[in-house]
Amino acid sequence: MALIVQKYGGTSVGSPERIKNVAKRVAKTRAQGHDVVVVVSAMSGETNRLVALAHEMQEIPDPRELDVVLATGEQVTIGLLAMALKDIGVDARSYTGWQVAVRTDNAHNKARIENIDDAKMRADLQDGRVVIVAGFQGVTADGNVSTLGRGGSDTSAVALAAALKADECQIYTDVDGVYSTDPRVVPEARRMDTITFDEMLELASLGSKVLQIRSVEFAGKYRVRLRVLSSLEENGEGTLITFEEDENMEKAAVSGIAFDKNQARVNVRGVPDKPGIAYQILGAVADANIEVDMIIQSAGSEGTTDFSFTVPRNDYTQTIRLLEGLRDSIGAIEISGDDSVCKVSIVGLGMRSHVGIAAQMFRALAADNINIQMISTSEIKVSVLIDEKYMELATRVLHKEFGLDKA
Amino acid sequence: MALIVQKYGGTSVGSPERIKNVAKRVAKTRAQGHDVVVVVSAMSGETNRLVALAHEMQEIPDPRELDVVLATGEQVTIGLLAMALKDIGVDARSYTGWQVAVRTDNAHNKARIENIDDAKMRADLQDGRVVIVAGFQGVTADGNVSTLGRGGSDTSAVALAAALKADECQIYTDVDGVYSTDPRVVPEARRMDTITFDEMLELASLGSKVLQIRSVEFAGKYRVRLRVLSSLEENGEGTLITFEEDENMEKAAVSGIAFDKNQARVNVRGVPDKPGIAYQILGAVADANIEVDMIIQSAGSEGTTDFSFTVPRNDYTQTIRLLEGLRDSIGAIEISGDDSVCKVSIVGLGMRSHVGIAAQMFRALAADNINIQMISTSEIKVSVLIDEKYMELATRVLHKEFGLDKA
């Protein structure tokens, strides 16, 4: 008998029929003797409908009021799922974010969970009830409705699992686990039975969309046992995200490959090589609320230096314009860039103990004439920036090179 | 400078465009220097959509969970209206039922308001904000979401006006006031500038659907100045519901005519005329949760007595079946009835001082060969039960007879 938190996303609760299926799955877990807390998203399409309504009212909807409107999506689902469970004889009770209460900070539309009161949930579990909690939402200290931002339901589930010290947090989604890379790009991609937190974190932050990165961070921080499962399959084991580096892991240097098209490269050439110049350039970009990802600095000619960095593609034009305005004050010879680039990354805990992984990666790409524009590394990943037209090719080449297509 | 509560129903907020129109109207009242608290319903169609979803989950949706689902309708509208107001430069803040808080009893789906905390609203008004409150909903002492039942937004508005001691509660609807009778039946029907509470209460309970009867009762109890206005017209004065019987009132004996098709007549003939027999018959009906409206008892032959009473048409078959079952124990000779009847009523404070109004009504109906099956009277109304095929004719005849078509 365990305490299990199950999270079902918008697609899994996208119609009355699907909500009934979720109820059956919850009832099955209950019948196995487990206590169950269910976290649900809004029915698929509902959040977009509400966002569209809000945008008809205001070009940039008021953040506080947007949260009031958006939070209704999950509130509908929790009530419907409670009814569906009661209809098949399983006692259940629903809670909104403020009812639990899931206390957050005041950052509307992207609030962070500060603490969760588990008293009501504990009492219901004690009484044999399934507890259903609206994902994605919380309440501020002032009693305002807050939401956690897109994908926030994953974070809600993990936070509830941490607060309740649940034995496992199961994220049900429309894929059956975490893959070595996107199966739409590489048909040979394999589902992994386990993956470590560090790897999952790198994969999530590198553009793999199975789990929201904040939920993975949260799970890592509070040591929540996390599993990704398919809500469509009956008996899948999914992928368990582990804290332990198990034996198998040691064998493979690379466990997954991620890619990200939301990249643009900016070059600032020929600035004087003096202290503070990096801050002058990158500080201005940060002040404009633009997130810089990869950064390289290289020596230019005659006491000058060159900077290259990447920004989200949507911010490319603004970044170039901003730097053109600074050109005289920073003394740059040229501002240029390219917004048709992409980032491809290899991730693996095994890199720690294997040498030459990066070199192997570069050689494999060179063999297929894929030019590398920038390189960035961490302890367990190597990312390269390349022309976006080679993205699929590079992913396939690397998937094969590191033996990920073999069971 | 006054404090005004304005309530807009589902049709008035039925689309983004209409919500913007409501915002303009609120802004106009604000520009006149008034403090404004706005109460809104769900966008038209939304409550029905949510009810349908609930019924797909459970044949009889769990009352607590149904309220969780239904309350989202108004929550969407308050957020959208706040955005629309901010978009035209009017500061505003929205509140759900639990945020205010509007405290109710635990009767889910038909909760009654117990008290309202006005602290947050007062502070916002003080700061120059328009306050927007979700109608129809509240919160129980246990922190559960409750709803007041269909039409509950009128009651919310009146209760808020009472709690805030507002100068006026304006109910915006798709008609421009209270009419002497339904203009679809009698084209000559006149809009009344004023009507007294007692009259409005009789008209509301007799089937006139302009205002929900509970809201009128509430307004009477807390002496809230209530006005019914059109949300479509620009400068209408609507109908003011007054406590004072003004001079004009004295002149007209009858101020309005109501009709109600939701009636069925039941006859119990030839029961022994002994104490307790009325209770035996009507108590059994009440125990089955069937509401009895008109009741008459008349002497039968040889120590027996006859009962006739009316019930809502939907309960007719059940009532007949129930009485057939009791027939032997009550010793009735015959159980019969008719479910194609209707009730037509004249209402007027002037009846108190005018004599012969009832007689005048019966004579007018007789002149058009309309047979009266039952009669029921109160201090300010006379109702007759007639064949439903004469309903429109009777209404027209009486409207003319009592001079209601004259300005």
Residue of B nearest to A49 (CA): B76
Q: Are residues A15 and A163 in the same domain?
A: yes
Nearest residue in chain B measured CA to CA from A62 = B83
pLDDT-derived band of residue B249, with 50, 70 and 90 as boundaries?
Answer: very low
What whole-number distance in Å separates Cα of residue A380 and Cα of residue A201?
A: 10
Residue A332 contacts residue A269 (beta carbons within 8 Å): yes
Contact B54 A80 (CB under 8 A): yes
Nearest CB among B58, B83, B145 relative to A61 is that of B83
Indicate the residue of A56, A58, A94 with minimum beta-carbon distance to B65: A94
The model's pLDDT over A213-226, given as tens digits with 9 standing for 90+, comes to: 788 888 888 999 99
State mean pLDDT over B28-57. Answer: 96
Asked if residue B407 is part of any domain, the answer here is: no
Whether residues B170 and B263 share a domain: the answer is: no
* B218: in domain: no
Domain boundary among B109, B144, B174: B174
Structure tokens at B217: 């009762």
Chain B positions in Cβ-Cβ contact with residue A140 (cut-off 8 Å): none
Q: Quick check: A4 pLDDT over 90?
A: yes
- Has residue B49 been placed in a domain? yes
Closest CB to B62 among A57, A82, A96: A82
**Residue B211: inside a domain, yes or no?**
no
Residue A90: list chain B partners with CB under 8 A. Answer: none
Most confident region among A280-294, A317-331, B115-129, B140-154 by mean pLDDT = B115-129
Answer with the one of B152, B174, B196 that is the final residue of a domain.
B174
CB contact under 8 A, B58 and A98: no
Residue of A nearest to B100 (CA): A143
Q: Quick check: is A327 in a domain?
A: yes
* For residues A314-340, average pLDDT: 93
Q: What's the CA gap between B374 and B394, in Å, rounded?
A: 14
B247 pLDDT exceeds 70? Answer: no
Region label for B128, one of left (φ > 0), alpha (ψ between -120 and 50) or beta (otherwise): left
In this structure, the answer to whether residues B69 and B165 fall within a common structural domain is: yes
| Containing structural domain, residue A301 | 257-401
Interface contact flag, B16 A65, Cβ < 8 Å = no
Residue with tokens 């006006």: B161
Mean pLDDT of B340-347: 94
Mark whether B168 and B57 lie in a shared domain.
yes
B100 shares a domain with B9: yes
A35-67 tens-digit pLDDT:
999 999 999 999 999 999 999 999 999 999 999
Q: Which of B57, B64, B70 to mutate to test the interface with A (most CBs of A within 10 A)?
A: B57
Confidence (pLDDT) at A172: 93
Give B227→chain A minimum CA distance, Å: 28
Helices (H), A206-265: 213-221, 247-251
Q: Which ipTM was obtained for this model?
A: 0.80
Q: Is residue A195 part of a domain?
A: no
Taking the CA of residue B326 and the nearest CA in chain A, the distance in Å comes to: 35
Q: Are B193 and B242 in contact (CB under 8 A)?
A: no
Residue B326's CATH number: 3.30.2130.10
- Provide the pLDDT confidence category of residue A234 given band limits of 50, 70 and 90: confident
Q: Mean pLDDT across chain A, nearest whole number?
A: 90
Contact A20 B57 (CB under 8 A): yes
Whether residue A246 is predicted with pLDDT greater than 60 in this model: the reply is no
Q: State how far residue B34 is from chain A, nearest Cα, in angstroms.
A: 23
C-alpha A73/C-alpha A88 separation (Å) is 24
Which of A53, A130, A145 has the highest number of chain B CBs within 10 A, making it the mutation to test binding with B? A53
Q: Are residues A168 and A299 in the same domain?
A: no
Residues of B at the A interface, defined by Cβ within 8 angstroms: 16, 19-20, 50, 53-54, 56-59, 61-62, 64-69, 71-72, 75-76, 78-80, 82-84, 86-87, 93-94, 96, 98-99, 143-145
pLDDT at B251: 56
Beta-carbon separation of B62 and A56 below 8 A: no
Confidence of residue A208 (pLDDT cuts 50, 70, 90): low
Q: In this complex, do B57 and A75 lie within 8 Å of one another by their Cβ atoms?
A: no
Mean pLDDT computed over A346-358:
83
Phi first, then psi: what are they for B310, rounded to 5°?
-115, 150
Distance from CA of B93 to the nearest CA of A (A): 8
Q: Which residue has the higher pLDDT, B263 or A183?
A: B263
Find the mean pLDDT for residues A305-316.
91
CA dihedral A200→A202→A207→A213, nearest 10 degrees, is: 60
Residue B9 sits in the same domain as residue B124:
yes
> Is the pLDDT reported for residue A249 higher than 50?
no
Q: Answer yes or no: do B170 and B264 share one domain.
A: no
Q: What is the least distance, in Å, from the CA of A50 to any CA of chain B?
A: 8
Query: CB burial class (10 A; 0-12, 13-18, 19+) of residue B113?
Result: buried
* Cα–Cα distance, B228 to B197 (Å, whole number): 13
Contact check, Cβ <8 Å, B86/A54: no
Q: What is the pLDDT of residue A205?
A: 66
> Tokens for A97?
């974010």
Residue B197 lies in a domain: no
User: Residue A92 in contact with residue A131, Cβ under 8 Å?
Assistant: yes
- B140 and B280 share one domain: no
B51: domain CATH number? 3.40.1160.10
User: How many domains does one find in chain A?
Assistant: 2
Q: Please list every residue in chain B whose beta carbon sits closer than 8 Å to the beta carbon of residue A64.
A: 93
- Asked if the structure places residue B381 within a domain, the reply is yes
Q: Do A65 and B58 touch (CB under 8 A)?
A: no
Residue B231 is classified by DSSP as: S
pLDDT greater than 80 at residue B353: no
pLDDT at A139: 98
Average pLDDT of span A194-213: 77
What is the secondary structure of A364-404 as a DSSP string?
Answer: HHHHTTPPP-EEEEETTEEEEEEEGGGHHHHHHHHHHHTTT
pLDDT digits (tens, 9 = 90+) for B293-334: 888 888 777 788 888 999 999 999 999 999 999 999 989 999
- pLDDT for the residue B323: 94
**CB contacts < 8 Å between A and B, how many?**
103
- Asked if pLDDT for residue B142 goes beyond 60, the answer is yes
B184-219 per-residue burial string, b: 16 or more CB within 10 A, e: under 16:
ebbeebbbbebbbbbbbbbbbbbbbebbbbbbbbbb
- Distance between CA atoms of residues A43 and B60, nearest Å: 22
- Residue A97 pLDDT class (50, 70, 90 cuts): very high
User: B375 versus B211: which is more confidently predicted?
Assistant: B375
Contact assignment for B80 to A71 by CB distance below 8 Å:
no
**The pLDDT value given to residue A407:** 60
What pLDDT does B162 receive?
A: 95
Say if the Cβ atoms of A76 and B69 lie within 8 Å.
yes
Of A127 and A295, which is predicted with more confidence? A127
Q: Looking at residue B205, what is its pLDDT?
A: 66
Contacts B57 to A, Cβ<8 Å: 16, 19-20, 80, 83-84, 87
**Do A283 and A142 have their domain in common?**
no
| CB-facing half-sphere around the CA of B214: CA atoms within 13 A | 16
pLDDT over 60 at B374, yes or no? yes
Average pLDDT over chain B, rounded to an integer: 90
Contact (CB<8Å) B16/A56: yes
Quote the percentage of chain A above a pLDDT of 90. 61
The set of residues, in sequence order, having a beta carbon less than 8 Å from that of B16 and lying 6+ positions away, is: A53, A56, A57, B80
* Contact status, residue A69 vs residue A53, Cβ threshold 8 Å: yes
Cross-chain residue pair A79–B58, CB shorter than 8 Å = no
DSSP A104-143: E-S-TTS--EEEE--HHHHHHHHTTPEEEEETTEEE-TTS
Model pLDDT, residue A248: 52
Question: For residue A217, which of A203, A234, A235 has the smallest C-alpha distance?
Answer: A203
CA distance B44 to chain A (A): 15
How is residue B372 written in tokens? 């009266």
**Do B156 and B273 belong to one domain?**
no
The last residue of a domain, from among A120, A155, A174: A174
Give φ, ψ of B263 to 5 degrees. Answer: -135, 145
Tell me what percent of the residues of chain B surpass a pLDDT of 70: 97
pLDDT given for residue B207 in this prediction: 57
Regarding whether B45 and B152 lie in a shared domain, the answer is: yes
C-alpha span between B146 and B110 (Å, rounded): 8
CB contact under 8 A, A54 and B80: yes
Mind telling me how many Å the CA of A106 is from chain B's nearest CA?
16
